[in-house]
Amino acid sequence: MSKSAFSKQARRWLFAGLLFAAGACAAPPTAELPTAQLSSPAATGAPVATSTLAPQPTAATEPFTYTVGPGDTLSSIAARFGLRPETVLWANHDLLHDIPDFLMEDMQLLILPRDGIYHQAGGGDSASSLANFFNASMDDIIAWPANQLDPQNPQVFIGQWLLIPEGQRGLRRRIMPNLPAGAMAVDSEEYGNGACPQNSGLAGQGTGQYAWPVAARSLAAEGYWSGHQAVDLAVEIGEPVLAADAGVVVYSGWSNLGYGLMVMLDHGNGDYTLYGGLGAATAVCGSAVAQGQPVGLGGVIGHPAGTFVHFEIRRGPEFLNPLVVLP
């Protein structure tokens, strides 16, 4: 095996190990589902076709699989098939755990033929109850050819896979909460070893005028959308990641909630920033940092689109699009 091939394989194993650790440590989903668990048919033996052709928008009625290649992102894959990224994310919960940045090269993703939800029916499910639960049209569920439902008697059987056209659901993952400096001490077993051991009496001195946290002002992977309320900014391995505004370090280290190594800052004005997927979290818990001061280093290798920092700006309970806020 060549040195470059070995290096590539080693990076995949490293990234896979980080994702396994994050998935194993993450708390169970908080959202309730219908009677049957939503997962990929590939994991339960449901038949799916495998795509061997150049990916194009499809008029098929059955799901098929797509192999993730170099440079892919969840959004670019969705666009290639004329889908919303949420559709691809929801259909691959068993692989991605509702975290788009968990994408890896050579993953086999389930691709639906249209936007919606792919659901395996459980006891008590009906076309009507599924339409209500997933905010969809019962008529559309019955009319979808691959569902093979009788319009006169649309009986749903336990174990049957149904496409719910235009169906929607919430994220089934936990989000790192905002941690105010005065109440930032959270359980490290629950949240990860980046949890700060005690609260801070310092107040952030943020101005609300944000600076770019990395040198390159470009995206490497995902942009901002409902399933990814952040931007993945391109960063070099070992490059300093900088505080986008002055604040207090309220979390620094490993996160059990799927962010990898991360830092969170409380800016003292209701705003918080989060820097995830770091190669190292160097900020010290409870310390005050100035705008432009290093808080970590890039970055985890393994995503097909390259190395990036997962960057969030929050204003109270709301997530802001950093590309709108940054100069």
Residues 6+ apart with CB under 8 A from 106: 12, 67, 68
Question: Rounded distance, CA 248 to CA 268, Å?
Answer: 8
Tens digit of each residue's pLDDT (9 = 90 or more) over 146-187? 999 999 999 999 999 999 999 999 999 999 999 999 999 999
Query: What is the chain's mean pLDDT, rounded?
Result: 85
* Burial tier of 145 (Cβ tally within 10 Å: 0-12, 13-18, 19+): exposed
33-45 pLDDT tens trace? 332 323 333 333 3
Which residues touch 242 (CB under 8 Å, ≥6 apart)?
A: 211, 212, 213, 214, 291, 292, 293, 294, 295
Q: Is the CA virtual torsion 149, 152, 154, 155 positive or negative?
A: negative
Residues of the chain with CATH 2.70.70.10: 181-325
Query: Residues 276-327: pLDDT tens digits?
Result: 999 999 999 999 999 999 999 998 778 999 999 999 999 999 999 999 999 9
- How many residues are given for the chain? 327
What's residue 301's pLDDT? 75
User: What whole-number distance in Å separates Cα of residue 278 and Cα of residue 262?
Assistant: 6
Q: What is the CATH number of domain 181-325?
A: 2.70.70.10
The CA distance from 116 to 135, in Å, is 10
Residue 64, strand partner residues:
49, 111
Which residue, chain included where needed, has tokens 């008529």? 139
Read off the tokens for 6.
């070995």
Strand partners, 61: none
Give the C-alpha separation, 301 to 12, whole Å. 8
pTM above 0.85, yes or no: no
Cis peptide before 201 (omega within 30 of 0): no
